[in-house]
Structure 1
Amino acid sequence: MSGANATENTTSYDYSSYNYGNIDGFSPDDITDVKDFSQVFLTFLYSLVFILGFIGNGLVVCVLVKHRNQSNLTDICLFNLALSDLLFIFTLPFYTHYARVSQWIFGGFMCRLISGSHQTGFFSSIFFMVAMTMDRYMIIVHAHRVTRYRTMRAAITLTVLVWMLSLFVSLPDFIFTEAMTNDSESHGFECDYPQESKVWERYDLFTINVLGLVIPLLVMVGCYSRIIPTLVTMRTTKKHRIVKLIICIVVVFFLLWAPYNISRFLKFLQEENKIPRNKIWDQNLRMSITVTEAFAYTHCCLNPIIYAFVGQKFTRRALQLLKRLVPGYTRDLSDSSFRRSSVMSRSSEVTSSIKL
């Protein structure tokens, strides 16, 4: 997607999106501070996201694979959410290097592969979060109608559809991005859409904002606004904790992604001469895109915590796995440590759906 350095061209999740070239009278010297900041800030933060995201999502995958015989639709969605985040973070070392040296050295094939994989991981992660939200809505608000349809076949069908949609949306990155000479530098390459092709930059901005933020946020708000009143009427001691978790899911998603999408949209308006184009405004926008994008990427580290580790069942399984893998790990893993409250069957299903 967009990367460390802001430019006229905005390629989703790609440093190529940011070109330090001459822009309407602004010389490369005007953005030196932003570039130097990006080299240090993004190198550190992307490395941290890669490490934490790999550990958290890797543990989710291992636990769910180990207990695959007990999987339900929620487990399948969570498994694929972790795979999506892993696909996303596996591209970060390439972008970390790109931010550090300010040029793409991995060739045209890797440019298309990494850019497309990055996009696919991003969109599939968002789409699986939407699928989990809708599943929670149906099982809580319409439990008596949909329980019989939450089968393994339905889970597999949903998984295939989400991955196909993610690949389809990401096709322009697989096909049209290329490694090309950086016009703003005397040497080196950038990974970007061809500069003469503006249509894919507009397409990228549209899909990131609409499919990556607006629609998912509307679905979350709409579904959870119906789920919360239903939970409040249930006779379960955990309803307040579940409501807090729901609010956390929506707020974290909005706070991490909205600033980045807003920054990119403002950059688009600047390129269209809808807002002022001066040195200070341009530098602030570049810095804003760099910082907000980096923090948005941390969402893939938080997904395992928000969607998996808050659940007692999953936590128990994860600790049991760690006990086998980590010598000397002696935390009490008895069932009494994780005893759950006895509630009516519908509330039990709700808790399972909300917290795995």
Structure 2
Amino acid sequence: MSDENSTSYDYSGYYDDPSDYSPSNFSDVKNFSQVFLPTLYSLVFILGFIGNALVVYVVLKHRNQSNLTDICLFNLALSDLLFVFTLPFYTHYASAGQWTFGGFMCRLISGSHQTGFFSSIFFMIVMTLDRYMIIVHAHRVARYRTMGAAITLTVFIWMLSLFVSLPDFIFTEETKESQRLGCDYPQENKVWERYDLFTTNVLGLVIPLLVMVGCYSRIIPTLVTMRTTKKHRIVKLIICIVVAFFLLWAPYNIYRFLKFLQEKTIIQQDLTLDKNLRLSVAVTEAIAYTHCCLNPIIYAFVGQKFMRRALQLLKRLVPGYIRNLYNSSFRRSSVISKSSEVTSTYVM
């Protein structure tokens, strides 16, 4: 995947300087990427697939009892699954140092990668806004949280994600540089890299972070006034949601922006800086991808209702220890008050 484009790295650039091995050398970046990226991508694929597939299965199994929160969880998991399904291709890309799947797959995988990324972000925004409305303005929005509204909102989010990702479906193609094949925007369409940088930074970080901070800053005081023994744990969870999102995605977006400034000579042109930025973008992007593994934990498994359903499923698959865990969880859930149940359902 290219350092300027979140959909694909152009590894051909790492082969241009075969000089001595040093931390700031292109060959060092190449060697590091060929080990680090496939390893982390493979781990993210396995954990992300297992966690999100379980969410999809549990929601589908109890689809007759689904509400807006369940539908958002379901689509968030689908978004993360679409995202992680592209990682095996990028794992091979990073390992081989070139793209070997052809032009059609280049466009399909790049576009699917972006669609999964943006739809995941958008559904997290929707879930944050839903929590805010149902906790801070519960009486005003209850009648609007219908199945029809949920389906309409879901279709809109997927269409919006597809629209934002269209340049990747249309303009990315198999390129050839330094005798190696890449998957990137061709030179005549490099203007779309600025579009990609803008959408990734603004739609992928700035807007969701502002929504989270704004909504949760109103939600937390409301939770504190509720008579529930779980409010302190929920406040900590909310803080973890915001902090995890920021720590995982902010470094990648910052380094991408610095790389853009360096390429446009807005900051000094320096070979060492360029090589270090290449390495930083590669590392921080791979780390940011681990967020799709955390989504099932943050947004699903900590919820009381979803946890009971997941344990019921695991009880059938893995008897013994899981049965004891399920019984313990059931006893705890049976003493939850009504206010705590509402808080658990919509905050987590």
TM over 0.5: yes
1:13 deviates by 2.2
Query: Is 1:178 the equivalent of 2:173?
Result: yes
Query: Is 1:267 the equivalent of 2:266?
Result: no
Alpha-carbon displacement from aligned partner over 1:164-213 (angstroms, at most 9, x marks no partner):
000000000001100121x2x22x31111111222200000000000000
Q: Which residues in structure 2 correspond to 1:46-65 (within 5 Å)?
A: 46-65=41-60
Q: Which amino acid aligns with 1:350?
A: T
Partner SS state of residue 15, structure 1: coil
Query: Is 1:74 the equivalent of 2:65?
Result: no
Measure the CA separation in 1 of the matches of 2:158 and 2:58.
22
- Cross-structure match for 2:137: 142
Partner SS state of residue 103, structure 1: coil
1:325 deviates by 2.7
Structure 1 unaligned blocks of 5 or more? none
Measure the CA separation in 2 of the matches of 1:146 and 1:56.
31
1:328 deviates by 5.7
Matched residues, number = 341
- Cross-structure match for 1:89: 84
Alpha-carbon displacement from aligned partner over 1:132-156 (angstroms, at most 9, x marks no partner):
0000000000001001111111110
From 105, 108, 121, the counterpart of 1:113: 108
- Same amino acid, percent of matched pairs: 74
- Cross-structure match for 1:11: 5
Computed over aligned residues only, the root mean square deviation of the Cα atoms, in angstroms, reads 1.7
Measure the CA separation in 2 of the matches of 1:224 and 1:318.
27
From 274, 284, 288, the counterpart of 2:280: 288
- Cross-structure match for 1:39: 34
Measure the CA separation in 2 of the matches of 1:292 and 1:52.
18
- Cross-structure match for 2:149: 154
- Cross-structure match for 1:215: 207
4+ runs deviating over 4 angstroms: 327-330
Measure the CA separation in 1 of the matches of 2:246 and 2:310.
28
TM-score by length of 1: 0.92
Measure the CA separation in 2 of the matches of 1:244 and 1:328.
32
Query: Is 1:122 the equivalent of 2:117?
Result: yes
- Cross-structure match for 1:352: 345
Alpha-carbon displacement from aligned partner over 1:235-265 (angstroms, at most 9, x marks no partner):
1111111111100000000000000000000
Q: Which amino acid aligns with 2:237?
A: L
Partner SS state of residue 242, structure 2: helix
Measure the CA separation in 2 of the matches of 1:235 and 1:28.
65
Q: Which amino acid aligns with 2:331?
A: S
Alpha-carbon displacement from aligned partner over 1:266-301 (angstroms, at most 9, x marks no partner):
000000111122222112111110110010000000
Partner SS state of residue 294, structure 2: helix
Measure the CA separation in 2 of the matches of 1:21 and 1:28.
9
Q: Which amino acid aligns with 2:276?
A: N
Structure 1 pair 120–263 and aligned structure 2 pair: CA distance change class (3 A): same
Return the structure number with greater helix share: 2
Q: Which amino acid aligns with 2:151?
A: I
Measure the CA separation in 2 of the matches of 1:341 and 1:276.
62
Measure the CA separation in 2 of the matches of 1:169 and 1:60.
26
Determine if contact 1:80/1:159 at 8 Å carries over to the other structure: yes
Q: Which amino acid aligns with 2:154?
A: T
Q: Which amino acid aligns with 2:150?
A: A
Partner SS state of residue 13, structure 2: coil
- Cross-structure match for 1:202: 194
Partner SS state of residue 268, structure 1: helix
Structure 1 pair 340–227 and aligned structure 2 pair: CA distance change class (3 A): farther
